[in-house]
Amino acid sequence: PDDNSDQNNPKLSQDENKPIGTTEELPPITSGELKEEDRLAAIIRIISEETSLAPRGGLFKQTDGFTIHSKAFEGLQLEDADELCSFQHYRRPQQDWNCNLMSRTDYNYAIDFLDTIDKDIPSDCWTAQLVEGDRAIILRNLHWPGFSFFHHLTTPEHGFVYIGAGQRNLDIPFMTQIYAPIIEEKSSLAVSVKTSEEKPTVEFKEDEENMNITEKESSKEVKDKINTSA
């Protein structure tokens, strides 16, 4: 009777409220079709996350946590625009706030809560160019060719635009890390050539001065002999 009772009332598993040994047919998994508009939206999201910028002080974080455009922002000065840490990613911060805190001595949480572009990897993925007689600056991203950010110095005017093919440049490590030592080596060779060319001229000048001194001494001796003979 015990065996019959076990067969009529099978034990239940701990995870499922179903008899042990029974199989369940799962419905077939239908994978959604990835459309071209979905790919385009994903690329736009990635480009915006990695390239959208704002100058330091352009965004202000209020005490209630909301971020607004700072009405007191009057633009960056020339000495500040020369540093990449003066430009921030226009996105939610991805780094720890302590990292941004220790990177500046004049830290202000209301404007320094965003990630700066000098922490990007590699560090040479941004190029800066001063234009309009050092009155404006243009930043370009080497990861995404076609992106440009502009800022008119000492004014709140700034913005960015992307006009490209939507393809990431994966050759940046070969463009920035390999050619840098070659450029440094060429510059050191140029300096050594200049110094080697300058040395003979210095020695030649010293020889000329010595010759002039000896000529003056010899002429003085001749004059002294003439005076003594007279």
What digits encode the pLDDT tens for the residues 136-166?
A: 999 999 999 999 999 999 999 999 999 999 9
Q: Residue 10 and residue 46: Cα distance in Å, rounded?
A: 54
**N- to C-terminal Cα distance for the chain?**
159
Tokens standing for residue 36: 């071209």
Tokens standing for residue 108: 């202000």
Confidence (pLDDT) at 160: 95
Confidence (pLDDT) at 130: 93
Q: Residue 184 and residue 188: Cα distance in Å, rounded?
A: 6
Q: How far is CA 73 from CA 115, 140, 228, in A?
A: 18, 23, 88
Q: What is the mean pLDDT of residues 176-199?
A: 48
Residue 15 pLDDT grade (very low, low, confident, very high; cuts 50, 70, 90): very low
What are the strands, taking DSSP E only, across 74-175?
Answer: 87-89, 126-131, 136-141, 147-152, 158-162
Q: What is the mean pLDDT of the chain?
A: 75
Closest to 113 measured CA to CA, from 60, 72, 54, 52: 60
CA angle 63, 104, 47 (to 5 degrees): 75
Using the predicted structure, report yes or no on whether residue 178 has a pLDDT greater than 50: no
Rg (CA), the chain: 37
Confidence (pLDDT) at 16: 45
Confidence (pLDDT) at 20: 44
